[in-house]
């Protein structure tokens, strides 16, 4: 007890208000032990038809060992780059995602610990565990609990959103894709609050959220009430047929600089009216390269080290040139094989601490 009180007096090791303040400490995910999850509607919904086939065939099996090895090597290179910039890097320990677990009414095997962004939401000095809608991710935060406890002991506020039951009532029975041109039809109901942290983008006092196949209205409302009057949570309408995670659609890079997906952001949220808004360059990921869970627009999933340094894929020359043309120095890192697992630099990280204050940018 004494130890905890003393640590608290030194201030929180968790503190980040936006996507661009100078990065001081970050969690970087791991691909070890990654498995395809059991195949069900909620897993199927955000995928393309071809991706659905792969998930169906490989359900419950490990990801290819050679691809894990390549992605692991890229993650090591990312860690070296971050440390070279003076950032403290933390990693979870590997675990076996082939193990079965469950709750009353269901059982599942796991996915991976590759994308801490999906589940850990840092807002100010608080780190929030998301109530994830995928059964395979029910224990997703377990890998990060040693770190969360450490941050708590050192003064962070640590919260888990209401633990979802993930019973059948959460999932739309007989779900099918919305027909072309019709409004988004989510695979999840409003049975209980669920969200993934990666469906939120932080711009100081304003936080932008999207409804998706994992984030429902109740989940967004839970976060809104939890954060209280200090923050405004805005729901944005994006033109994404298979929405899951906002960070390849609407990506604030720095105050006054918003990167958008050329087709998904039809109406830029009015908040950004005084910002410069630029469309992302076309991705250059070759057609033959496996992307198990995302579109090629994962090229937009960049990580800002500060307002003028962007970690960007080493082969993505158009994105590097784009950054330079906007006064941002690209910091290249090979990450193609990591991309295969469903994310890039933003997904692979949770920024634990950025040096800055809570501000309004609009």
Catalogue the active-site residues.
196, 245, 347
Q: In this complex, which beta carbon is closest to ligand NVA, that of residue 263 or of residue 329?
A: 263
Does position 310 bind ligand NVA by CB under 6 A? no
We find the least distance from the C-beta atom of residue 340 to ligand NVA, in angstroms, to be 12
Does position 44 bind ligand NVA by CB under 6 A? no
What is the C-alpha to C-alpha distance for residues 121 and 126, in angstroms, rounded to an integer? 8
Q: Bridge partners of 102?
A: 107
We find the least distance from the C-beta atom of residue 301 to ligand NVA, in angstroms, to be 5
Does position 295 bind ligand NVA by CB under 6 A? yes
Terminal CA-CA length for the chain: 42
* Segment interacting with ligand NVA, rule: CB under 6 A, options 74-82, 219-227, 295-303, 313-321: 295-303
Q: Are 340 and 34 in contact (CB under 8 A)?
A: no
What is the C-alpha to C-alpha distance for residues 288 and 151, in angstroms, rounded to an integer? 42
* Segment interacting with ligand NVA, rule: CB under 6 A, options 32-40, 70-78, 278-286, 291-299: 291-299
The CB density around residue 362, as the number of other CB atoms within 10 Å, is 16
Q: What is the three-class DSSP state of 117? A: helix
From 18, 301, 320, 349, residue interacting with ligand NVA (rule: CB under 6 A): 301
Q: In this complex, which beta carbon is closest to ligand NVA, that of residue 298 or of residue 352?
A: 298
From 192, 343, 351, 354, residue interacting with ligand NVA (rule: CB under 6 A): 343
What is the C-alpha to C-alpha distance for residues 238 and 251, in angstroms, rounded to an integer? 13
To the nearest 5 percent, what fractions of the chain are helix, strand and coil?
Answer: 30, 25, 50
Q: Which of residues 241-270 bind ligand NVA (CB under 6 A)?
A: 244-245, 247-248
The CB density around residue 22, as the number of other CB atoms within 10 Å, is 17
Match 């579109």 to its residue by tokens.
295
Q: Applying CB under 6 A, which residues contact ligand NVA?
A: 244-245, 247-248, 294-295, 297-298, 301, 343, 347
């Amino acid at each position: 007890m004494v130890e905890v009180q003393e640590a608290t007096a030194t201030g929180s090791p968790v503190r980040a208000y936006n996507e661009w303040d100078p990065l001081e400490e970050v969690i970087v995910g791991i691909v070890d032990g990654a498995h395809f999850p059991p195949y069900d509607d909620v897993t199927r919904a955000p995928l393309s038809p071809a991706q659905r086939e792969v998930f169906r065939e490989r359900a419950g099996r490990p990801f290819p060992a050679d691809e894990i090895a390549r992605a692991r090597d890229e993650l090591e290179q990312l860690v070296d780059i971050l440390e070279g910039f003076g950032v403290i890097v933390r990693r979870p320990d590997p675990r076996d995602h082939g193990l079965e677990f469950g709750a009353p009414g269901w059982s599942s095997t796991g996915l991976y610990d590759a994308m801490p962004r999906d589940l850990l939401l840092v807002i100010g000095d608080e780190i929030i565990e998301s109530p994830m809608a995928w059964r395979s991710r029910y224990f997703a935060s377990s890998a990060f609990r040693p770190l969360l406890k450490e941050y708590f002991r050192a003064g962070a506020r640590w919260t888990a959103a209401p633990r979802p039951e993930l019973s059948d009532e959460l999932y739309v029975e007989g779900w099918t894709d919305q027909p072309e041109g019709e409004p988004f039809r989510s695979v999840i109901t409003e049975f209980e609050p669920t969200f993934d942290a990666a469906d939120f983008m932080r711009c100081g006092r304003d936080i932008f959220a999207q409804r998706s196949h994992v984030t429902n209205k109740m989940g967004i409302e839970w976060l809104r009430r939890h954060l209280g009057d200090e923050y405004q949570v805005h729901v944005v309408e994006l033109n994404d047929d298979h929405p899951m995670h906002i960070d390849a659609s609407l990506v604030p890079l720095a105050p006054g600089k918003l990167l958008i997906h050329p087709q998904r952001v039809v109406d830029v949220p009015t908040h950004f009216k005084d910002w410069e808004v630029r469309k992302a360059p076309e991705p250059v990921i070759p057609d033959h390269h496996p992307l198990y869970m995302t579109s090629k627009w994962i090229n937009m999933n960049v990580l800002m080290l500060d307002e003028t340094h962007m970690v960007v894929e080493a082969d993505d020359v158009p994105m590097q040139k784009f950054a330079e043309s906007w006064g941002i120095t690209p910091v290249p890192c090979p990450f193609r094989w990591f991309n295969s697992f469903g994310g890039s630099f933003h997904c692979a990280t949770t920024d634990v601490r950025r040096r800055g204050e809570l501000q309004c940018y609009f």
